[in-house]
């Protein structure tokens, strides 16, 4: 799926999940706007595309040999806001989460995940 500046939030998140399980998180970079904010319970708040790109590169390296993946369960949204429900499939046990996303001009301006952070 090719995205345009007019892509809806739902289309952007569908593309995100299409790329996600390739395990090269750097491929997600074009989906983020220059002033995007990324929030995750285990990672914290990351502001701006350069910082998000650094995070994505780190995740690619860190998660390369882990036996895990994500499975999207459902995606819904409209032109500006989307959400997804997903499973983080891990050998230690699955974790269910929800993502809330805001999009402007075909790019993510806000990415926020909600899930219980695993202990240990």
Q: Indicate whether 120 belongs to any domain.
A: no
92 vs 6, which has greater pLDDT?
92
Q: How far apart are CA 27 and CA 16, in angstroms?
A: 9
Q: Indicate whether 109 belongs to any domain.
A: yes
pLDDT digits (tens, 9 = 90+) for 85-107: 999 998 889 999 999 999 999 99
pLDDT digits (tens, 9 = 90+) for 19-31: 987 889 999 999 9
Mean pLDDT of the chain: 91
> What are the C-alpha distances in Å from 93 to residues 2, 67, 88, 102, 114?
34, 11, 8, 29, 17
**How many structural domains are present in the chain?**
1
Q: Indicate whether 1 belongs to any domain.
A: no
Which of 110, 109, 82 lies closest to 98 in space, CA to CA?
82
Q: How far apart are CA 57 and CA 27, in angstroms?
A: 9
Q: How far apart are CA 99 and CA 94, in angstroms?
A: 16
Residue count of the chain: 120
How sure is the predictor about 8, in pLDDT bands with cuts at 50, 70 and 90?
Answer: very high
Q: Report pTM.
A: 0.89
Q: Indicate whether 24 belongs to any domain.
A: yes
Q: Indicate whether 74 belongs to any domain.
A: yes
Residue 72 pLDDT exceeds 90? yes
Q: Domain span at residue 100?
A: 9-114
Comparing 3-12, 39-48, 88-97, the range with the smallest average pLDDT is 3-12
Q: Within 13 Å, how many C-alpha atoms sit on residue 15's CB side?
A: 21
What's the CATH number where 51 sits? 3.10.450.50
């Amino acid at each position: 799926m090719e995205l345009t500046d007019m892509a809806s939030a739902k289309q952007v998140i569908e593309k995100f999940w299409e790329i996600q399980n390739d395990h090269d998180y750097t491929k997600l970079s074009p989906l983020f706007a220059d002033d995007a904010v990324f929030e995750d319970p285990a990672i914290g708040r990351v502001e701006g595309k350069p910082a998000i790109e650094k995070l994505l590169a780190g995740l690619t390296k860190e998660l390369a040999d882990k036996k895990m993946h994500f499975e999207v369960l459902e995606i819904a949204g409209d032109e500006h806001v989307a959400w997804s429900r997903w499973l983080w499939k891990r050998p230690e046990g699955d974790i269910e989460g929800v993502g809330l996303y805001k999009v402007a001009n075909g790019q993510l301006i806000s990415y926020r995940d909600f899930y219980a952070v695993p202990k240990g």
